[in-house]
Structure 1
């Protein structure tokens, strides 16, 4: 069997970014920007008032108090009608353009209005006071965003400000989730004798959707060759296929053979991993305009599927998204107690943070009680997984171990 690092390297070897497409700006949140974006105009496009008050010429106010003649009122969205002359002021609102010759704005609270005149109280007034000069944020022709960044809400706002109604981004991955097994019923149903509710599909759909991908979930496929073939054939139209169950060594584990019949090339089967050892990975047939589908055959137990998703599927989705290839974010942590690990499988134990989770930079963790890879309650009680190596080892209290957060 492959070690976890070896298996992940093979996943990365076969994962490639999806093609670049044009998308409406409002549908591009979380996408990777493909091209640089340049400013089409100065921002702000004029000298702008930062407060409500009076636009003035600082040189008129060397000696205070001073009365100035108010010659107009300028609202945001309306240009001034003329420049200021000596001894004049213009009432102005926040965001409005300053009239020519004005170089400062005095706040209303520091003035007194008397009919057509405004009295400026004693205060420090300098050129540039409460004024945002033209081009201060950026100039026409400046590069605002470099290709290869994720479009966050603030970056979407910036693109809207420069009129980028359509942007070139890496396309959104499409993930097909295919639950299989005669023992499964829909989670909305009451199981009959020997049957269980299908919890894995919804959990994996949520994990995938949480990464901003498009998901499609198949109806439950029975352990019957023709039904599996038809269901998996449709799934292979997606960029990533998560087939759940039927990948071990039993007489009803028909998924690997069915995938091979559909032209999926097996890359590896089984990894030195607990839970999740039976993982199957292959690459679908060539597709026009898109990379071949990445196909993961996940074990049917919930924790196995969850661990496989965090270690293999999530990093693969990052690559398809345009992000760098990197392993799941295992971080160092202190072990709260003594652990004896006697296995040649890299092991992920549901674990919780003890003490104050937001205190020290390195948390202290301990395993939660669990009953094996079917025990979802253990994950509900956990903050992540304590990671132990694929060899026998003893961990003493306070020793540093790996910790994989749940999300």
Structure 2
């Protein structure tokens, strides 16, 4: 069996980012930049006022001084003259600083006289540059302001708008098909009969796919029948990634690997030294075998829901990040401390569901009452998993562990 680290290496080597495409800016939220964005302008493009008040020369400011107001400048307008010694210009937030002025007196530090034709300043002195944003303070023309691989949030969308990008080059949103397999499954809204269970994995995986910024394509339940499996798999192979849950262990009706092979999928690896998630299967439909001449990647996830969830979080999420050009693609462990004593013994490294409390010294994790791979109930009390290496060890409160947030 492969180690988890070897599995990560194989996934990163196999999955390649999709070619970028230009999209309207208002459709790019949550997608990944495909190229660096370089500012073509200084921002702000001029020295501008941070406050409503009066643009003045600081040399003129003394307690109680009265100055004539020679003009008024609104945001979006420009004063073409110059503030001469002994003068003031009424100015609004965001307006360009008039030539000659080197500071702003806030309106609350003044008194209007002669119906606005004069102003009395209550300050004894004023520092040059006060309440002025200098040109280019935020960014300079020629500066790389957004690197390729950045996930676009609302703030990046706003910055791109400021830079005049109505369209942006991004990696396309990945599509992920989901097939739940097994004769024992019934739809979520159905009442299970004897020896039946509801299809929990499909909605769970669909939610995880959306959390990754991808587009889920749930394809329902495939029965333990080779012909039906192959039919569903061929439909699922139209997506960038296909996730199947169940049918990848070693039982008589674990038919998924054979059905995938019949559809042209090449196995990359099967089974990992980890818990939960040992039966994980990974393969690829090579570009030369696919209808669209693009590679597609397939994960056979364990049928037990917690195993399926953990494997998705570690491995499918890595593939999706790689597909979207996000670097690093690997899951990032958060250094944490265990909040209770724990006697651990297992021949496989284990990802144990834990809840987390945040302290002044960082996260403290507490194992939840998890009773195995089918115990989905316990995971709702958890915020992620903690990694415990294989072997036997007595953990004491305060010992270091690696935490992986969900």
| TM-score, normalising length: structure 2 | 0.90
Alpha-carbon separation, structure 2, partners of 1:352 and 1:96: 51
Q: Structure 1 residues 381, 85: CA separation in 2 closer, same or farther (over 3 Å shift)? A: closer
Q: Deviation of residue 312 (structure 1)?
A: 1.5
Q: Could you give the per-residue CA deviations for residues 61-97 of structure 1, whole angstroms, max 9, x where no partner exists?
A: 1554322222222221222253334433221111112
- Mark the CA change 1:81 to 1:181 in structure 2 (over 3 Å): closer, same or farther: same
| Residue number in structure 1 paired with 2:7 | 7
Structure 1: distance between partners of 2:92 and 2:26: 30
Q: Contact conserved, 1:15 with 1:294, CA < 8 A, in 2?
A: yes
Which deviates the most, 239-248 or 22-31?
A: 22-31
Is 1:301 the equivalent of 2:323?
Answer: no
Q: 2-side partners of 1:351 and 1:133: how far apart?
A: 49
Q: Does 1:380 align with 2:380?
A: yes
- Give, in whole Å, the separation in 2 of the partners of 1:62 and 1:397: 66
Per-residue deviation, 1:236: 0.9
For 1:7 and 1:42, locate their aligned partners in 2 and report how far apart those are by CA, in whole Å: 46
Corresponding residue number in structure 2 for 1:182:
183
SS of 1:273's partner is: coil
Of 298-307 and 32-41, the range deviating more from structure 2: 32-41
Q: Does 1:172 align with 2:176?
A: no
Q: Distance in 2 between the 1:30 and 1:176 partners?
A: 19
**Aligned residue runs from structure 1 range 274-293, under 5 A:** 274-286=275-287, 292-293=295-296
Deviations 1:41-69 (A, max 9, x none): 2222222111111122334x155432222
Q: SS of the counterpart of 1:150?
A: coil
CA deviations 1:345-382 (Å, max 9, x no partner) are 323333345xx5434336253x4333321111121233
Q: Partner residue of 2:55? A: 55
Paired position in structure 2 for 1:197: 198
| TM-score normalised by the chain length of structure 1 | 0.90
Indicate the residue corresponding to 2:106 in structure 1.
Answer: 107
Structure 1 residues 312-341: Cα deviation after superposition (integer angstroms, max 9, x where no partner)? 212222211212243552645337224141
Alpha-carbon distance in 2 for matches of 1:105, 1:369: 62
Name the structure 2 match of 1:27: 27
Query: SS in structure 1 opposite 2:32?
Result: coil
Which residues of structure 1 form unaligned runs of 5+?
A: none
The whole-number CA distance in structure 2 between the counterparts of 1:376 and 1:301 is 9
In structure 2, distance between residues paired with 1:340 and 1:360: 24
| Residue of structure 1 equivalent to 2:259 | 258
Asked if 1:37 corresponds to 2:37, the answer is yes
Displacement of 1:13: 2.0
Give the length in aligned residue pairs. Answer: 401
Q: Secondary structure at the match of 2:33?
A: coil
Aligned to 1:344: 347
Q: Is the 2:8–2:330 contact (alpha carbons within 8 Å) kept by the matching residues of 1?
A: no
Change (3 A) 1:58 1:318: same
Q: Is the 8 A contact 1:38 1:145 kept in 2?
A: yes
Checking the alignment, whether the CA contact within 8 Å between 1:369 and 1:378 is kept in structure 2 is yes
The answer to whether 1:70 aligns with 2:69 is yes
- Contact 2:336 2:362 (C-alpha < 8 Å) held by counterparts: no
Cα pair 2:3 2:274 within 8 Å, conserved: yes
Classify 1:328/1:309 alpha carbon distance in 2 versus 1 (closer, same or farther; 3 Å): farther
Q: Distance in 1 between matches of 2:14 and 2:396?
A: 40
Q: Structure 1 residues 398, 383: closer, same or farther in 2, change over 3 A?
A: same
Cα distance in 1 between the residues matched to 2:131 and 2:18: 47
Call closer, same or farther: CA 1:278–1:58 in 2, change over 3 Å: same
Are 1:267 and 2:268 counterparts?
A: yes
Please say if residues 276 and 299 of structure 1, whose CA atoms lie closer than 8 Å, have aligned partners that are also in contact.
yes
Q: 1:265: Cα distance to partner?
A: 0.2
CA distance in 2 between counterparts of 1:211 and 1:175 reads 11
- Report the 3-state secondary structure (helix = DSSP H, G, I; strand = E; otherwise coil) of the residue aligned with 2:353: strand
RMSD: 2.5
Shift of 1:25: 2.1
Instruction: Give the aligned partner of residue 144 of structure 1.
Output: 145
Q: Gapped runs of 5+ residues in structure 2? A: none
Aligned counterpart, 1:93 = 92
Aligned to 2:314: 311
